[in-house]
Amino acid sequence: MKITAMAGGVGAAKFLSGLVQVLPPEEITVVVNTGDDFRWMGLYICPDLDTITYTLAGLDNPVTGWGVRDETYQCLDRLRALGCETWFALGDRDLATHVYRTQRIQQGDSLTEIAASLSRLNGVAARILPMTDSPVPTMVHTEDGTLAFQDYFVRRNCQPQVQGFTFEGIENASPAPGVLRVLQESDAIIVCPSNPFISIGPILAVPGIRDALRESPATILAVSPIVAGEALKGPAAVMMRQLGFEASASGVASLYRDFLDVFVLDRRDESLRESISALGLQVRSADTIMSNEASRVALANSILEMLS
């Protein structure tokens, strides 16, 4: 079975780490959010691409979910001593990835080419594609004004109240090479349990991708990132409430209803089955909380059974 996953964030990385254990990774393509990308100290940083690559390579930090395990921070400590801003915590091993990527970009290579190289060099067999090769930074409109995403997310710890999002330059962007093709040719497409606004939203905003999902012959399934009204990690539920949406699995389903076939909610949210069915979607339930490797594999197996 050929599967394409749409992904961003730690929840998606956890799910994918289970999926590659129950399906040959060569049959999996991951289309990754790049709205989080930004430049820091002259380096081109791709948080979601790196989180997913590190996780599938078995290099991820199990405590934070992002960055590299057994990390050191000598470079960051020295930058701090020199008076530089160090609110974005890049470790020494992680730093090597960004130096490598920045050099390749300066040589004229595309983000797609670089992502493929980093996958190969880190031993990742699944295909990892950025959603676009164009810079389309997420801007967060808040009560304190418009903030660059990492300023809002990391520096300000998601504190300002959110009023909306835009993705700079998105109208001139195009899907990365291969993205539209895999959406057409996959047997199934999985929207990972990711924040619908800042992880999946940027992917859907790339011209042509949402239309491709509506037209795809694949079965399209989404796993809810909200359980019992709360996000297990990150600000998704808070954002939903601030933007006037119901902070629930049902609220998430409503955002994807135009292209979705199947919505998977956690067993704790069975009471929402009827409201989601009313959106015209098939509803399935599973244990979606991925607290350890066994639960990640179990969820992946449950999803594959739903798609078979």
pLDDT score recorded for residue 234? 85
CA 4 to chain centroid: 13
Distance CA 118, CA 101 (A): 9
Q: What is the mean pLDDT of residues 27-53?
A: 97
Lowest mean pLDDT of 87-96, 132-141, 186-195, name the range: 87-96
Strand order across the 262-266 sheet: 127-130, 28-32, 3-7, 188-191, 219-223, 262-266, 282-286
pTM of the model: 0.96
Place of tokens 């060099």: 121
Listed residue (3, 1, 6) closest to 256, CA to CA: 6
Confidence of residue 268 (pLDDT cuts 50, 70, 90): very high
- Please give the pLDDT value at position 65: 79
Checking if the pLDDT of 287 tops 90, the result is yes
Burial of 108 (0-12, 13-18, 19+ CB in 10 A): exposed
